[in-house]
Amino acid sequence: MRQTFNLLRTSGAALLLALTAGPARAAEMAAAPAAAASQTLLLWFLLGTLAVVILLIVLVVAMLVVRLRPQLRRLYELPTVRPTWSGRVLGLLVGDPALVRGEVRDEILDHDYDGIHEFDNDLPPWWKYSFYATIVFAIGYVSYYHLAQAGPLQGAEYAAEMQQAALFVSADADDPNQLTTYQPLTAPGDLSSGKSLFATNCAPCHGVNAEGKVGPNLTDEYWLHGGEVNHVYKTVKFGVQGKGMVAWKGKLSGKQILQVSSYVLSLQGSKPAGAKAPQGEKESPSQPTAKR
Under a CB-based contact definition with an 8 Å cutoff, are residues 230 and 222 in contact?
Answer: no
State pTM to two decimals: 0.43
Residue 113's φ and ψ, nearest 5 degrees, are -125, 110
SS3 (DSSP) at 170? coil
For 232: left if phi > 0, alpha if psi spans -120 to 50, otherwise beta; the answer is alpha
Q: Render pLDDT for 238-250 as a digit per residue (tens, 0 to 9).
A: 998 888 899 999 8
Portions of the chain given CATH number 1.10.760.10: 188-282
Residues sharing a CB contact under 8 Å with residue 5, sequence separation 6 or more, in sequence order = none
Q: Out of 1.10.760.10, 2.130.10.10, 3.40.228.10, 3.50.50.60, which CATH number does the structure's domain 188-282 have?
A: 1.10.760.10
The span from the CA of 112 to the CA of 264, in Å, is 71
pLDDT tens column, 2-26: 454 454 455 555 555 455 555 555 5
Question: Cα 245–228–225 angle (5° rounding)?
Answer: 35
Does position 289 have pLDDT exceeding 80, yes or no? no
Inter-helix orientation angle 85-94/69-76, to 10°: 140
What secondary structure letter does DSSP report for 262? H
Euclidean distance between CA atoms 137 and 141, whole angstroms? 6
Cα distances (Å, whole numbers) of residue 218 to 189, 202, 270, 287:
21, 11, 10, 13
Q: What is the mean pLDDT of residues 249-265?
A: 93
* Predicted local confidence at residue 194, as pLDDT: 94
3-class secondary-structure state, position 183: coil
